[in-house]
Amino acid sequence: MSGLVFVKLGGSLITDKSRPYTVRQAVLDRLCQEIHDARSRQDFSLVVGNGAGSFAHVSASRHRTNEGIIDDASWRGFTEVHHDALRLNTLVREALTGAGELAVTLQPSSSCVTRSARIVSYHTRPIELLLAAGVVPLVYGDVCVDEQQGCAIASTEEVLRYLASVLEPARIILVGKVAGVLDGGGKVLPSVTRESFEAIRGSLLASDGVADVTGGMLHKVERALESGVHTEIINGLEPGLLGRALLGEQGLGTTIAG
């Protein structure tokens, strides 16, 4: 879809990861308004995803859900992570709706199956039909039933990677709280390619310097390269930057070329 854009609102951007279950409401509302304003000025289709932030990452870490079914409490952990992820996603949907968008949540846990945390099947037809109707499908990192380890966490980047293979978006915009991919000295890299990736792999930390259960910045770059889609990582704390990126402005962060 030549006019399709994927946007991921990072969990460390829209929540305070140092305070469990705390949303940055003003930041979230502004980002959603930027999305709506850009869609009002330019015609493009949109899939929005959000990270888990201080919601599902808390319960997932407590229950080690990313490791699969490891003890008698694992399925209880599965349900807790599911509910925590949905709680944050509901807040994102409400913010998008408040900004003027028609947005519908599609739970990955109800439509995806993973194998070792990689999505192997995904019923995507509802997403395709919603896009055709002009509605914004809203996805998120979620727990999934896993063929090998019982359960797994499918990160938002993994969800978007799989969807990209089916829907073929023109661009993916990953919105975080840093200006892009940082090198070992803390400098923003203008671009990352398959060729340059190995040289910087060891210096990539979580997006905010704090580890999370899905692998942080390293995971983001890996999935972006796998998708083969032009991907931009930008700083969502800078007002207006997401709107400018959606309208086509380049050079606002780090470009990842698959």
What's the pLDDT at 204?
78
Q: pTM of this prediction? A: 0.93
Output 199 or 239, whichever has higher pLDDT: 239
Q: Is the pLDDT of residue 47 over 60?
A: yes
**In this predicted structure, which of 61-75, 149-163, 205-219 has the lowest mean pLDDT?**
205-219
**167 φ/ψ angles, rounded to the nearest 5 degrees:** -95, -20
Confidence of residue 4 (pLDDT cuts 50, 70, 90): very high
Give me the mean pLDDT over the 239-252 stretch: 97
Q: Is the pLDDT of residue 121 over 90?
A: yes
Confidence of residue 251 (pLDDT cuts 50, 70, 90): very high
Q: Is the pLDDT of residue 95 over 50?
A: yes
Q: Is the pLDDT of residue 247 over 50?
A: yes
What's the pLDDT at 213?
54
Give me the mean pLDDT over the 143-155 stretch: 97
Residues present in the chain in total: 258
What's the pLDDT at 187?
87
What's the pLDDT at 164?
97
Give me the mean pLDDT over the 6-22 stretch: 95
What's the pLDDT at 138?
98
C-alpha neighbours within 13 Å on the C-beta side of residue 31: 32
Q: What percent of the chain has pLDDT over 90?
A: 83
What's the pLDDT at 214?
56
For residue range 191-230, list pLDDT tens digits in order: 998 888 888 887 775 444 444 555 688 888 999 999 999 9
Residue 213 and residue 17: Cα distance in Å, rounded? 12
What's the pLDDT at 215?
61
Domains in the chain: ranges and CATH: 4-257 (3.40.1160.10)
Output 240 or 185, whichever has higher pLDDT: 240
What's the pLDDT at 186?
83
Instruction: Mark 225-239 as b/e (b = at least 16 C-beta within 10 Å).
Output: bbbebbbbbbbbbee
